[in-house]
Structure 1
Amino acid sequence: MAEQGSGAQLCAASAASCLLLACGYVGSLYVWRSQLPRDHPTVIKRRFTSVLIVSALSPLWLWMWRQHTGFKTGPPLLKLMGVHLEGIVAATCLPLLLTMVLFFGPLIQLVMDYPWDFIDGVKMFLAHFHHVIELLKFRQGTVAGIFLSAVFQFSYTAVFGAYTAFIFIRTGHLIGPVLCHSFCNYMGFPAIGAALDHPQKLTIIFFYLLGVVLFFLLLFPLTDPAFYGSLAVCHLTRPDTSTSVCT
């Protein structure tokens, strides 16, 4: 019973540490006082500085947490964090390919609408959701509309966060989630309304559905740990010494 209690406390401490890291990352975006919108170059530079500092300090936080809890790890800490070369080619290509399959419909729509300049088409198609505070601050829409947008954004980002965490756990690499995040930020949320109003909507809807079906069919095959090296799936065991080891 005491060992089970210790394990529960370790899990609680782990969850609390993850929450603090996430809050520290998001909170660092708001330490700067400014009346400028979030897309202003000055604000972007300040936020980039904040997240760079937090990201650089995160390994130190993880090391301190390990020292405090006595958690023992076999592989080096950076390797556990997904920074290593074993299986790097697959980790760079396959998760990004999987994410692009999910966006098959929007990509086909871009090709159809902007056949001569794909990059400019992607830029025009890009859609980002602004934060609630900024929307209220600059009076961009009604209060009800702003909060409905925020709820939608929270749901979308929560699902995407679970997806990138899944990729990290399955591959053991950081590069895959980073590239997928960058791609999704660049694409934005699919403009389903525009697809339904498109002159060739049946074709586009077909590719939307095909992309979703292929995504779920390929989700586990393309994230098979066998592609990514010996540290693709990290699982905890409790040996006789009652210390946890990550293998």
Structure 2
Amino acid sequence: MAEEDLSLLTEEVKHSDGALVPPEGLCGVSVLSCLLLACSYVGSLYVWRSDLPRDHPAVIKRRFTSVLIVSGLSPLFVWAWREFTGVRTVPSLLALMGIRFEGLIPAIILPLLLTMVLFLGPLMQLAMDCPWSFMDGIRVAFAHFHHVIELLRFRQGTLSGIFLSAVFQFSYTAVFGAYTAFIFIRTGHLVGPVLCHSFCNYMGFPAISTAMEHPHRITVLSSYLLGVLLFFLFLFPFTDPSYYGLPTPVCTLTSSPSSLCLS
């Protein structure tokens, strides 16, 4: 590895064998910083007191304002983390956050295409069912899960049903969060996770129960299975860091990029 790559961390400590390790406590501070930023983002959605449903235009505008403020302050938060921990990196602050031009076109196309491959079954089902335009079919075929607070507040469903819905939603969003984080680490771009998130929000969770009762069940279910298989087949090739400009910003935070970053 080039000598300049080994100087990414200015506060590193050397073991007796010469290996570089990050400053003591850096991992804990970094994890807490991530949690604080995430909690700030989610918490900003609930600072507004209102008796209106969450889908009311007035509530949506307020939440949009909160998210816009937190998102605008996030670069300052990352800068503060870097200054506090003493970490010095070759990439700029914006590049660390996935905002860069190198490899931008592949970052726009490939992660979104990979996600659409995963949704091959639902897309096939929509194409077969909707008698109007394809995009109109997407708009009405799926619905988002409401938040637990919203369900309890307006007495929508039983307590046990709301709890099970919350567990399902948490599990689904946790898996999706891991997937978008994987895309960010592999590509070093923010645009990929944003587009994939928008697409998945637009599609909603696949209506598997409807697919089981579909008149063309074999074709639809085969599309579901084919989409999953192709997704895992293309997962690493479509996110190969060489398409997006090596080394990726996230990987260059370490003294030696891991096999995940280079594979």
With the shorter chain as reference, the TM-score category is over 0.9
3-state SS, counterpart of residue 211 of structure 1: helix
Equivalents in 1 of 2:69, 2:253: separation in Å? 30
Deviation at 1:127, TM superposition (A): 1.8
Q: Paired residues, what number? A: 238
Deviation at 1:101, TM superposition (A): 0.1
Q: Select which of 40, 46, 54 maps to 2:62.
A: 46
2:222 counterpart residue number: 206
3-state SS, counterpart of residue 49 of structure 1: helix
Deviation at 1:115, TM superposition (A): 4.5
Query: Under a length normalisation based on structure 2, what TM-score does the superposition of the two structures give?
Result: 0.87
Q: Are the structure 2 counterparts of residues 9 and 128 from structure 1 closer, same or farther at C-alpha, using a change threshold of 3 Å? A: same
Matched, 1:91 2:80: no
Q: Select which of 143, 166, 173 maps to 2:189.
A: 173
Matched, 1:63 2:92: no
Matched, 1:236 2:253: yes
1:245 counterpart residue number: none
Matched, 1:80 2:92: no
Counterpart code for 2:74: S
Deviation at 1:225, TM superposition (A): 0.5
3-state SS, counterpart of residue 221 of structure 1: helix
3-state SS, counterpart of residue 83 of structure 1: coil
Q: Is the 8 A contact 2:142 2:207 kept in 1?
A: no
Matched, 1:220 2:255: no
Query: Under a length normalisation based on structure 1, what TM-score does the superposition of the two structures give?
Result: 0.93
Q: Select which of 99, 106, 117 maps to 2:122.
A: 106
For structure 1, list consecutive stretches of 5 or more residues without a partner in the other structure.
Answer: 240-247
Matched, 1:142 2:158: yes
Task: For residues 201-228 of structure 1, give each alpha carbon's deviation from its aligned partner in whole angstroms, at most 9, with x where no partner exists.
Answer: 1110000000000000000000001100
For structure 2, list consecutive stretches of 5 or more residues without a partner in the other structure.
Answer: 1-11, 16-20, 257-263
Q: Are the structure 2 counterparts of residues 8 and 113 from structure 1 closer, same or farther at C-alpha, using a change threshold of 3 Å? A: farther
3-state SS, counterpart of residue 106 of structure 2: helix
Matched, 1:34 2:74: no
Deviation at 1:58, TM superposition (A): 0.5
What is the root-mean-square deviation in Å for CA atoms of aligned residues? Answer: 1.6
Q: Is the 8 A contact 2:44 2:66 kept in 1?
A: yes
Identity between Structure 1 and Structure 2 (%):
70
Equivalents in 2 of 1:6, 1:99: separation in Å? 35
Task: For residues 83-111 of structure 1, give each alpha carbon's deviation from its aligned partner in whole angstroms, at most 9, with x where no partner exists.
Answer: 01101000000000000000000000000
Q: Are the structure 2 counterparts of residues 55 and 204 from structure 1 closer, same or farther at C-alpha, using a change threshold of 3 Å? A: same
Matched, 1:132 2:151: no
Counterpart code for 2:253: L
Deviation at 1:119, TM superposition (A): 1.1
3-state SS, counterpart of residue 166 of structure 2: helix
Deviation at 1:238, TM superposition (A): 4.9
